[in-house]
């Protein structure tokens, strides 16, 4: 029986309405008693939330009475019912809990229909309760959908703000609270992925990428900066493997992995390295995909990245100096002789095996193999940058 059918008849029995109004407090109390007796989640709520639910139940019964009295003039809008409580209540109780609340209120009204409705109107009252509860349930689902959409939009804005802060190196005390609000667990290490989007990232594609990131890693944040994609991955597993699992969703362009860092507080360093490498990667056409940001140290340095310059000096040149003059001299001669073992040996007046040993020792010392063409190039740039730094600051101890 629809609202139009009810409006064609005599609008609700005045005696039933009078009894309903007189018994509204009793119905509310009975519904809350049922909740307390049967529903675990209700008993576990804070006292304030329990009081809000009482107001919602009371508002729902009052709204039903008004609709029953004048079905053509009232509505089923759950927003009107939930207006008695703060919006935060939708975070304390789920849609499933709300529907359970509606069901219990309906059962309470049905159970009391005999004493609330005069003879001849009991079935009409039961039918009206079922119709109203069904429509309220649909309306409640809309309320929760809108609340979820609002939270989703807010979370997306907060997520973009966090990622932007990491890229710009603005990591203040609020960073931890913000990522915690986004569900970041903080366990394990952190790695930042930077990629060039092949086409504009609309909301659907961004949402798909965000879901893929959260399937690949324990923690994930995604930021879209124009045609640039920034993904922050965290967790105790293999983060590089997690990043590689995302490659099909990142388009055909270059993908850069920043260095792994201890946690979100240090993620800014990984993010800045990844973004700088993404800007510099066109200078290395044969770069692998994905490529580590530190594999692009020379290109980044040439592109004006101070972090790359500092890394070349601190992580390559200084350890070489600490390894002793013979290692530095051997590397310089090896590179100067066109990467010829025999040529370097003749220039240094040593046996080729000595050159071979020293080059292997350099690889063990700095983690870069001088005999590999690409890695030898990185070491050659590190030598040049280190010499320049030494000339510019002769008293720094370099």
Sign of CA pseudo-dihedral 383, 389, 395, 398? negative
Same domain for 323 and 288? no
The answer on 141 and 219 residing in a single domain is no
Q: Phi/psi of residue 287, each to 5°?
A: -60, 140
Show the beta-strand stretches assigned E in the chain.
Answer: 189-196, 219-225, 228-235, 255-257, 291-292
- Cα atoms in the 13 Å half-sphere on the side-chain side of 48: 5
> Is residue 293 within 8 Å of 272, Cβ to Cβ?
no
Q: Are residues 14 and 125 in the same domain?
A: yes
pLDDT > 70: percent of the chain: 80
Residue 333: is its pLDDT beyond 90? yes
Asked whether residue 165 is assigned to any structural domain, the reply reads no
Residue-level pLDDT at 155: 64
301 is a domain residue: no
Per-residue pLDDT tens over the stretch 340-390: 999 999 999 999 999 999 999 999 999 999 999 999 999 999 999 999 988
Residues 220 and 330 in one domain: no
* Per-residue burial over 18-48, b = 16 or more CB atoms within 10 Å of its CB, e = otherwise: ebbeebbeebbebbbebbeeeeeebeebeee
Q: How confident is the model at residue 261 (pLDDT cuts 50, 70, 90)?
A: very high
- The number of distinct structural domains making up the chain is 3
Query: Within a domain: residue 300?
Result: no
Residues 271, 320: one domain?
Answer: no
- Provide Rg for the chain, Cα atoms: 34
Q: Verify that 193 and 310 share a domain, yes or no.
A: no
Residue 167 domain-assigned? Answer: no
- Tens of pLDDT, residue by residue over 70-117, are 765 445 555 566 665 666 566 667 767 777 777 777 777 777 766 676
Report the chain's terminal Cα–Cα distance, integer Å: 89
How much of the chain is in helix, strand and coil states, percent to nearest 5? 65, 5, 25
Task: Please give the pLDDT value at position 81.
Answer: 65
Whether 157 maps to a domain, the answer reads no
Cα 274 to Cα 280: distance, rounded to the nearest angstrom: 10
Question: Is the same domain home to 285 and 382?
Answer: no
Answer yes or no: do 96 and 206 share one domain: no
- Flag whether 39 is in a domain: yes
Asked if residue 290 has a cis previous peptide bond (ω within 30° of 0), the answer is yes
> Would residue 160 count as lying in a domain?
no
Q: φ, ψ for residue 261 (rounded to 5)?
A: -125, 170
Structure letter (DSSP) for residue 291: E
More confident call, 45 vs 230: 230
Domain containing residue 83: 3-149
Please check whether residues 136 and 60 belong to one and the same domain. Answer: yes
Residues 186 and 91 in one domain: no
Higher-scoring residue by pLDDT: 136, 7: 136
Contacts of 322 by beta carbon, 8 Å cutoff, 6+ apart: none
Q: In the predicted model, what is the mean pLDDT of residues 124-143?
A: 72
Provide the CATH number for the domain around residue 347: 1.10.10.2840
At 368-378, the pLDDT tens digits run: 999 999 999 99
1 band by pLDDT with thresholds 50, 70 and 90: very low
C-alpha 255/C-alpha 382 separation (Å) is 24
- The residue written with tokens 């370097």 in the block is 344
Q: What is the per-residue pLDDT for 191?
A: 95
Task: Name the residue with higher pLDDT: 88 or 54.
Answer: 54
pLDDT, position 2: 44
- Report whether pLDDT(188) > 80: yes
What's the pLDDT at 244? 94
Q: What is the mean pLDDT of residues 254-260?
A: 95
Give the span between the Cα atoms of 372 and 355, in whole angstroms: 15
Q: In this structure, is residue 154 part of a structural domain?
A: no
CATH (domain of 191): 3.30.70.2730
Average pLDDT, stretch 255-274?
92
Distance CA 203, CA 215 (A): 18
User: Do 104 and 17 sit in the same domain of this protein?
Assistant: yes
pLDDT for 321 equals 93
Position 315 pLDDT exceeds 90: yes
Give whichever of 55-59, 107-111, 222-226, 320-324 has the largest mean pLDDT: 320-324
> Which residue among 293, 324, 350 closes a domain?
293
**Rounded CA separation 398/381 (Å):** 16
pLDDT at 308 over 90: yes
Q: Smallest Cα–Cα separation from 104: which of 39, 160, 192, 169?
A: 39
For the ranges 218-232, 256-270, 357-371, the one whose mean pLDDT is highest: 357-371
Q: Give backbone dihedrals phi and psi of 232, rounded to 5 degrees, phi first.
A: -105, 120
The answer on pLDDT for 254 being more than 70 is yes
- Is 279's pLDDT higher than 50? yes
> Model confidence at 8, in pLDDT bands (50, 70, 90)?
very low
Of 266, 293, 320, the residue at which a domain comes to its end is 293
Is the CB of residue 267 less than 8 Å from the CB of residue 170?
Answer: no
Tell me the HSE value of 26 on the side-chain side, using a 13 A CA sphere: 11
Q: Are residues 131 and 234 in the same domain?
A: no
The mean pLDDT of the chain is 82
Could you tell me which residues are beta bridge partners of residue 224?
229
């Amino acid at each position: 029986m629809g609202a139009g059918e009810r409006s064609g008849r005599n609008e609700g029995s005045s005696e039933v309405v009078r009894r309903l109004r007189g018994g509204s407090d009793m119905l509310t109390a009975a519904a809350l008693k049922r909740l307390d007796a049967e529903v675990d989640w209700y008993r576990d709520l804070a006292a304030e939330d329990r009081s809000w639910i009482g107001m919602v139940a009371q508002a729902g019964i009052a709204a039903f009475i008004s609709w029953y009295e004048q079905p053509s003039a009232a509505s089923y809008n759950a927003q009107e019912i939930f207006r008695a409580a703060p919006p935060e209540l939708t975070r304390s109780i789920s849609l499933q809990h709300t529907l359970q609340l509606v069901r219990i209120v309906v059962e309470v009204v049905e159970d009391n229909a005999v004493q609330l409705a005069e003879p001849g109107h009991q079935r009409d009252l039961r039918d009206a309760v079922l119709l109203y509860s069904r429509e309220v349930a649909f309306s409640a689902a809309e309320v929760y959908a809108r609340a979820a959409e609002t939270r989703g939009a807010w979370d997306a804005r907060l997520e973009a703000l966090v990622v932007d802060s990491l890229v710009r190196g603005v990591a203040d005390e609020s960073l931890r609270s913000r990522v915690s609000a986004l569900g970041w667990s903080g366990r394990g290490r952190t790695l930042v992925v930077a990629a060039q989007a092949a086409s504009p990232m609309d909301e659907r594609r961004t949402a798909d990428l965000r879901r893929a990131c959260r399937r690949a890693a324990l923690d994930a944040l995604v930021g879209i900066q124009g045609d640039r994609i920034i993904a922050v991955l965290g967790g105790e597993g293999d983060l590089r493997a997690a990043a590689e699992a995302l490659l099909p969703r990142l388009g055909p362009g270059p993908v850069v992995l920043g260095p792994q860092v201890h946690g979100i507080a240090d993620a800014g360093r990984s993010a800045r390295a990844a973004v700088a490498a993404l800007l510099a990667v066109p200078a290395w056409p044969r770069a692998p995909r994905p490529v580590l940001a530190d594999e692009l140290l020379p290109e980044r340095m040439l592109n004006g990245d101070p972090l790359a310059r500092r890394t070349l000096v601190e992580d390559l040149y200084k350890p070489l100096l600490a390894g002793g003059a013979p290692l530095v001299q051997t590397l310089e001669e090896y590179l100067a002789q066109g990467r010829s073992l025999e040529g370097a040996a003749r220039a240094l007046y040593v046996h080729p095996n000595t050159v071979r040993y020293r080059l292997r020792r350099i690889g063990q010392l700095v983690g870069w193999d001088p005999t590999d063409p690409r890695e030898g190039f990185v070491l050659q740039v590190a030598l040049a940058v280190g010499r320049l730094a030494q000339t510019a600051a002769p008293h720094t101890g370099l």
